[in-house]
Amino acid sequence: MAKRENDLGRDPIGPLLVRLAVPAVTAQLVNALYNIVDRMYIGHIEGVGDLALTGLGICFPVIMFVSAISALVGMGGGSRAVVRMGEGKMEEANAILGSCTALLVLLSILVTVGFQVVREPMLLLFGATENTLSYASDYLTIYLWGTIFVEISLGLNFFITSQGFSTVSMATVLIGAVTNIVLDPIFIFGFGMGVQGAALATITAQAVSAVWVLRFLSGKRTRLRFQRRYFRLDGRVLAPVLAVGVSPFIMQSTESLVNISFNSSLKAFGGDPAVGAMTICSSIMQIFSMLFQGLSQGAQPIVGFNYGAGQIDRVKKTFRLLFFSSLAFSTAAWGAIELFPQVFVSIFNDEPELVSIAVWTLRVYAAGMFMLGIQFSCQQTFVALGEAKVSLFLALLRKIILLIPLIFILPNFFTDKVLGVFVAEPAADVLAAITTGLIFLWRFPRILRRRAQETHGPKTV
């Protein structure tokens, strides 16, 4: 049996969570650099940086949807596989890996072809204007051809993380990010390719990461390993995987719908400068959201493995640490943004008009961020426990049920319509976090009690 870096069932919870969470957080933050670094460079292209940056922001819904597919299959599959490992069912865990790999390949092809066909009408729907359409189209045309690399590198990396190989999964992202950071200035400025160079650098970096993942999951260290007989679309395997993965999929894919809603409203009320400010705000929020998500991903293998093994006390201890750590991080992030918004905005652009709008809108946009620690820790724990229905509802709650309607409703109550649009974000954050926390307080003890009865019998409850 291959040796794991961490023993999910026996190592002390505190140090174990740190060893898993630090690489996961690092990986998520570095992963955010793929698009963030592109925006930083593009926003400083002389003469057209503001328009190019706005054009790239219009592509954000597609980029998030592509990433969301990797979460649908990879996070759902990884969560299911680690529970099977905890139960000692390695053949079933390997079957999950094989079927998920086949599905990722199929979905990559469908997404690439489908979005290329409707590219320009789609971008116009997302908020592009005659000034920004060419930049958005140039970037997206190249980016879409690298969809399969994104799905393989991000989606299958969850299967590395789920085994406890935290530093290996971090290396997956680091390798790609370093490649992207090195290639961006070469392609954008050195070769004079502009936004096309940024897209080419990104997909090249993802290809390097994909090769790394495939080699590891075919090697000797991994317990979950590619086997040709499992490389097929098995509905019995994939149905429960997708049921669990649909929650993180909705969390990420609804970012696309949210971005479309924001951009269309802001284009009507504030034009290109307001859409550009939204690009900056969402980029900054993405960085911090990745931090919370990485912390949750570090805890998920511990929660899932010990839940499968019936070690309920370890599940409880892991959640407590996750909750308070997430809340501390989200509060610190909120404080930093509210106190120093100009520092964050200046990373992306230095045009006075755009900066002046982005500074005050960022303060409004991030006003509810301190509550995200509650939202992420509770929701992702439901995912780790395989609670598909409740995690699906919570994923729908914040974005679909609350945020998107508020984007269109709140401007009617404000003289400054742009302010009304941006207020929708903190309002949804606070309402969703309160609801999620209350549901978790009610359901979590009942879930653990049921599992204890299944593994040890009613006398131990």
DSSP secondary structure letter of residue 219: S
Of 135, 130, 51, nearest to 351 (Cα)? 51
Q: How does pLDDT run across 357-392, given as a tens digit for each residue? A: 889 999 999 999 999 889 888 988 888 887 878 877
C-beta neighbour count of 433 within 10 angstroms? 24
Q: What is the mean pLDDT of residues 128-144?
A: 87
Q: Give the residue from 19, 38, 207, 174 showing the smallest Cα distance to 108.
A: 207
What pLDDT score does 434 carry?
95
Check: CB of residue 315 under 8 Å from CB of residue 49: no
Predicted local confidence at residue 87, as pLDDT: 79
Average pLDDT over residues 441-456: 85
Average pLDDT, the chain: 85
Quick one: angle between helices 60-70 and 49-58, nearest 10?
40
pLDDT higher for 22 or 269?
269
Encoded amino acid at 313, one letter: D
C-alpha 57/C-alpha 52 separation (Å) is: 9
CA distances to 54, 165, 178, 229, 318 from 21, in Å: 33, 11, 21, 33, 11
Query: For residue 143, how far is the Cα from the chain centroid?
Result: 18
pLDDT exceeds cutoff 60 at 3: no
253-276 exposure pattern, b = at least 16 Cβ within 10 A, e = fewer: bbbbbbbbbbbbbbbebbebbbbb
Q: How far is CA 323 from CA 16, 292, 294, 376, in A?
A: 15, 10, 13, 9
CA distance 57 to 442: 39
Q: Which of 49-53, 65-69, 129-133, 446-450 has the lowest mean pLDDT?
A: 49-53
Looking at residue 352, its pLDDT comes to: 79
Place of tokens 């998520």: 28
pLDDT of the residue at 363 = 94
Most confident of 3-12, 17-26, 235-244: 235-244
Q: What is the pLDDT of residue 2?
A: 41
* Predicted confidence (pLDDT) at residue 412 exceeds the cutoff of 90: yes
Domain ranges of the chain: 13-460
Task: Give the 3-state DSSP-derived string for 351-392, with helices as H, strands as E and coil as C.
Answer: CHHHHHHHHHHHHHHCCCHHHHHHHHHHHHHHHHCCCHHHHH
State the pLDDT confidence band at 28, using cuts at 50, 70 and 90. Answer: low
pLDDT for residue 253 is more than 80: no
Spatial separation of the C-alpha atoms in residues 316 and 320, rounded to whole Å: 6
pLDDT for the residue numbered 222: 85
pLDDT band at residue 458 using 50, 70 and 90 as cut-offs: low
Residue 315 is encoded by which pair of tokens? 């599940």
Q: Which helix (H) or strand (E) holds 42?
A: helix 13-42
CA distance 42 to 36: 10
Alpha helices in 193-234 (DSSP H): 195-216
Q: What pLDDT digit, counting tens, does each position of 201-250 carry? A: 989 999 999 999 999 998 888 888 888 888 889 889 999 899 888 877 87
Question: Which of these ranges, 67-76, 88-97, 287-296, has the smallest mean pLDDT?
Answer: 287-296
Higher-confidence position of 102 and 32: 102
Give the pLDDT confidence of 76-90 residue by residue, as tens digits.
898 888 888 877 888
pLDDT at 44 over 70: no
More confident residue, 100 or 267: 100
pLDDT number for residue 461: 41
Sign of the CA dihedral with 310 first, then 312, 314, and 315 last: positive
